[in-house]
Amino acid sequence: MSESPGSKKHDPALEAAQAALAAEHAAVYGYGIVGARVGEARQTEAREAHDAHRARRDAMWRSVRSLGGTPEAASAAYALPFPVPDEGAAVRLAAELESRLAAVYADLVRAATGARRREAAAALREAAVRAVRWRGGSVAFPGLVERAPRTGAGNSPDGAPKRL
């Protein structure tokens, strides 16, 4: 199959960078909700996360451009994964945003090379640490557990690893 003039080859790094950019757009939006509903004790944490995601979003915008892509703009609004009427839900939303970002950055680590891979690994680590802070607990492999199959040769029918 030959390519038509002007078309681009499939570029996993570009696709993963676009996905990371989209996730950062959503995180910036989501932290606006978190900041409005989280209690005073966690306002600084929410503001710092919001600022960090704005910086990551801008870096991903540049990354997409450097890979030859056209960065996608943010949406005017995003659907939240659940209602966020109070502080408890805001904390859960922050943890969910970070978990989703860790998964997206795990994909970028897998697709990228060199400095881009190192930056993606740093972003994955930061998202995983924030998720732990918001959630109060962690998972063994942040960003990968979301990608694990529910059943398989090494898993029981309920998706849990088989015990030896």
Tens of pLDDT along 53-86? 999 999 999 999 999 999 999 999 999 999 999 9
48: in domain: yes
pLDDT at 146: 53
3: in domain: no
Beta carbons of 18 and 10 less than 8 angstroms apart: no
**DSSP structure string for 49-101:** HHHHHHHHHHHHHHHHHHTT--PPPPPS----SS---SHHHHHHHHHHHHHHH
Tens of pLDDT along 32-54? 999 999 999 999 999 999 999 99
6: in domain: no
**Nearest CA among 97, 61, 95, 64 for reference residue 79:** 97
62: in domain: yes
Beta carbons of 102 and 83 less than 8 angstroms apart: no
**Interatomic CA distance for residues 78 and 71, integer angstroms:** 18
Please tell me which residue, 149 or 162, carries the higher pLDDT value: 149
Neighbours of 80 (CB within 10 A): 15
Beta carbons of 17 and 101 less than 8 angstroms apart: no
List the CATH number of the domain containing 85.
Answer: 1.20.1260.10
pTM for this entry: 0.79
pLDDT at 139: 60
Confidence band, pLDDT 50/70/90 cuts, at residue 150: very low
pLDDT at 34: 98
63: in domain: yes
Q: What is the mean pLDDT of residues 1-16?
A: 67
Total number of domains in the chain: 1
At a CB cut-off of 8 Å and minimum separation 6, what does 27 contact? Answer: 53, 56, 57, 97, 98, 100, 101
95: in domain: yes
Q: What is the mean pLDDT of residues 10-19?
A: 96
At a CB cut-off of 8 Å and minimum separation 6, what does 136 contact? Answer: none
Range of 21's domain?
12-69+81-138
Cα radius of gyration (the chain): 18
Beta carbons of 21 and 72 less than 8 angstroms apart: yes
Q: What is the mean pLDDT of residues 12-38?
A: 98
7: in domain: no
75: in domain: no
Between 101-110, 143-152, 153-162, the lowest mean confidence (pLDDT) is in: 153-162
Tens of pLDDT along 86-135? 999 999 999 999 999 999 999 999 999 999 999 999 999 999 999 999 99
